[in-house]
Chain A
Amino acid sequence: MSGTRVDPSFLALPHRHLGEVALARAGELGATHADFRFERVRYQHLAARDGVLQAADDTQDIGFAVRVVHHGAWGFASGVVLTPQEARSVAARAVAVAEVAATMTSTPVELAPEPTYDDVTWVSDYEIDPLEVPTAEKAAVIVDWTRRLREHPGVEHASGFVLAVRENKYYADLHGTRTTQQRVRMQPGFEAMGTGAGGFDSMASIAAAVGRGWEYVVGGSPGAAWDWDAEIAEVPGLLAEKLAAPSVEAGRYDLVIHPSNLWLTIHESIGHATELDRALGYEANYAGTSFATYDQLGSLRYGSSVMNVTGDRTTAHGLASVGYDDEGVQAQSWDIVSDGVLVGYQLDRSMAAMKPELAGPDRPSGRSNGCAYADSPGHVPIQRMANVSLQPDPDGPSTEDLVSRVERGLYVVGDRSWSIDMQRFNFQFTGQRFHRIVDGELAGQVRDVAYQATTTDFWGSLEAVGGPQTWMLGGAFNCGKAQPGQVASVSHGCPTSLFRDVRILNTTEEAGH
């Protein structure tokens, strides 16, 4: 946690008073549980193309929500008019909704217990609040990126963008917990486009979305900034090489996968697959279920023995890092896959109450591991992903060492297209660039590449993970889930890793061209 303070303008809002009014009303109406969230989320989006600023938009959501358990059923309502009368009214609407819901609820709602946190505050770890930096200063940076990229003769068009978010959230419940939090996140990026003999293509930055501030762009403490200048200097050459590269020969290859690509494969094939709500069917109509069903806990061979995966809501600069989740549960870290075997799930309080044994014999009623999140004051908290990360080998090899072990393969860098089935078996991913590996050495790029596998086959083919020196934190702003749809930000750390004998498709052949 940084020494940064919660924005005083948020603290000046009437969140506490509205919370007390709403909770009191819900209690008067008989709710057995009630929680109140007051949120202000500020977004800024800047976009540039070919040396011109295209968009500079500031958006803010302010509002509050009341969620109750009444007659054993959930009820939820939200509002945007910040008056005590409206707080009472929204609380009453939530109870009324629960009364409608009770007629269709055959399994009464239960919540795993959680200690009370009496007025605690948490602020994420950043140095420069990006929303306090003048817009013109940020715009100048991305305009300059696109201008510099366009200076290269092979770059026909260049785009750049910055997304910056500051999220303030106040939570209160009938049991006495009161939390106040502030989180900052950033996603800058750029893309260069050109045309070669095989048609047009692009090369984008591999910088990750991060839980950092503007220091990610301009520098701050050591290690805070991405090296934008180096990447802008490198990308035009990489694009030119890609445009001139031969089309890949479809077949089976060994893959050395850089964290800038592997994070997304982890997200789709491990992160979502180990959400207990999915495994128990609560996302079946939309995002889907999971092959990692609960009956396989402790026995499912998820991957090879070098595979160790953790769920963590405390990761430094993680996009899913919080002090307390949206049900007042303190952030935690835990094992999901140990030595290749499924050992844990991601939980919210209702999921934890269904499977109390996950918390161990000392907690017979279970305990959530803090994965409840709502993306706005207008949405109900649902079970969302922690930072789910693949652990490095403490004495593991470098990327060069991993490449040297491959006779015929590909080195995969950067993410691009992704798709996986509704039980998380079959996936297909592309990337920014695919470098051929011949006899242990990189030998130029190939294009038109996608890799396709079944989750357990793929992770079973994991031969080696790199050392801590190869570990990076990737992530996304836009993970979608639930009905109504919500988005969440989440990070995934991983080392460079070596997979054997993975199916490679030629996407041009797939298109029938």
Chain B
Amino acid sequence: MTAHQSPRATPQSLVEQGLAASISDDCVVIVRDATSANLRWANNTLTTNGVMHGLHVSVVSFVRGPGGTGTGTVSSTATTQAQVTELVRAADAAARAADPAEDAAELVRDRVSPDWSDPAEPTDIHTYDVLAPALGEVFGRARSQQRVLYGFVNHEVTTTYLGSSTGLRLRHVQPTGHYGCTGKDAALSQSAWVGGATRDFTDVDALAMDDVVAQRLAWGARGRHDLPAGRYDTILPPSSVADLMISAYWASGGRVAHDGQSFYSVRGGGTRIGERIVAPGVHLFSDPAQPGLECAPFLTAASSSNDASVFDNGLELGRTDWIRDGELRALTQTRHSAGLSGQPVTPYVDNLVLDVEGATGSVDDLVAGTERGLLLTCLWYIREVDPQTMLLTGLTRDGVYLVEHGEVVGLVNNFRFNESPVDLLTRFSHASASVPSFSREWGDDYFSRTATPALRVPDFRMSSVSQAM
């Protein structure tokens, strides 16, 4: 196969080859060069690891006809110009055969990133040159102190190149890293977890990570309190708030809301934009330029759906207030759905910030101010039960602690909860300052760029007890 033996092409040359080869009316080519390196451990020893490289090309062809514009998308791993040419032929053919697209719009034109010509930025196993030996030390320390550690670190750098026949040449480099460590006591009778996001691992200290795990296990060793299901004054740390807010964000599709089929709908059709849906002073927004949470400032879409449109490729993304001062201000919109609902175009952005006006301090301050309540560590297996009420179910995990008179006094059993994240934003009694956070449930694979406060909710619904430890 000669095509697979050609010299390696640059991402930019793959884009140009694709655009030149297309015989459709318009064409968009998206190239993603991704490298990653990871380490995984369990039972105080490394288990798996790896370094990966992927080069993925998506070609979207647009063919205008008397009834409208048809589109076709074909994506593949591709490293040679010949492979890209094959993709273009398939995408062009698919577009010619397609019915007119309902989301058809003029393509975005003539924007060029100043760093377009730069090569893709990689990562490799040397990201862990400092962390790896420290992890080895941590494993030994855990063994000697009767702890069992399980964890994972991952670093990935994706360089995206977006080119179009209408003059787009956009490039973005997105480094994504995260760490997580679960610790258990020697009897496996309790768990603790610590985790977070990073960009380059220079700020991740394996020994400090283990210190936090050890501290939480020590909290648990102060005594176990078996509590029944019910409503509790509950402190949700930023990681748990991130878990819940991501679910609320993912449910915010403008088209589905306009069609009357989401929490954000008015009964019978139309959206609740303009309605106060949570407490005053609550702000939920996305911003590609948010310090520490930077993400792609332009839109890429290889496929159309209720929430995305291939015609919107290259749209500039900016700060979007989803909720401002408690009022629903925007839903995720394509240009097509925005047209249907008469709302501004507010596409999905890859970060999310929840901010409560005037909130200061940390989760420790919320603990100090609590007479009796629960302190959660993180949530797990969160699923939507009812889209109409945005009811979510899920479980506490790896550390629920009893707080009395402002102090953590011991370990509590796990619970299943049934709650709506937007209801929580109405009912909370206290909030801390927003800080970079990391969703235990969604951060690893989908959404790691969040900043959220800790929240104290006086009547958090624990639906039943979980025996899991």
Contact = CB atoms under 8 A, between A and B. Distances in A.
Say if A and B assemble together: yes
Interface of A: 12-14, 45, 47, 49, 52-63, 73-83, 93, 96-97, 100-101, 103-107, 134-136, 139, 156-157, 193, 195, 199-202, 280-286, 288, 291, 378-380, 382, 417-426, 428, 430, 448, 450, 452, 454, 480, 483-485, 503, 505, 507-508, 510-513
B45 A63 contact: no
Contacts of B181: 285
Contacts, number: 272
A200 B466 contact: no
B136 A103 contact: yes
A101 B261 CA distance: 50
B134 to A, nearest CB: 10
B289 to A, nearest CB: 28
B5 A83 contact: yes
Top 3 A-B pairs, shortest CB-CB distance: A76-B50, A423-B468, A60-B76
Interface residues of B, number: 97
Contacts of B182: 284-285
B50 A284 contact: no
Contacts of B52: 77-78, 378-379
Contact of A417 (B384, B419, B468): B384
Contacts of A284: 42, 150, 182, 184, 191
Contacts of A101: 39, 46, 49
Given A417-B385, A419-B381, A104 B73 contact: no
A135 B94 contact: yes
B99 A426 contact: no
A61 B79 CA distance: 12
B445 interface: yes
B394 interface: yes
* Chain B contact residues: helix, strand, loop or mixed: strand
Given A104-B135, A288-B468, A419 B4 contact: no
A512 B427 CA distance: 12
A507 B461 CA distance: 12
Contacts of A202: 261
Interface in B337-353: none
A286 B259 CA distance: 36
A454 B444 CA distance: 28
A484 B43 contact: no
B175 interface: no
A379 B40 CA distance: 13
A81 B41 contact: no
Given A13-B1, A104-B45, A285-B181, A195 B423 contact: no
B141 to A, nearest CB: 13
29 contacts: A14-B1, A45-B303, A56-B98, A60-B77, A76-B48, A78-B50, A78-B53, A100-B132, A104-B46, A106-B45, A199-B388, A200-B260, A200-B265, A201-B388, A283-B42, A284-B42, A284-B150, A286-B180, A288-B397, A419-B393, A426-B467, A428-B463, A448-B386, A484-B36, A485-B445, A503-B464, A508-B386, A510-B391, A510-B418
A422 B47 contact: no
Contacts of B114: none
A511 B386 contact: yes
A507 B385 contact: yes
A507 B386 contact: yes
Nearest to A44: B74
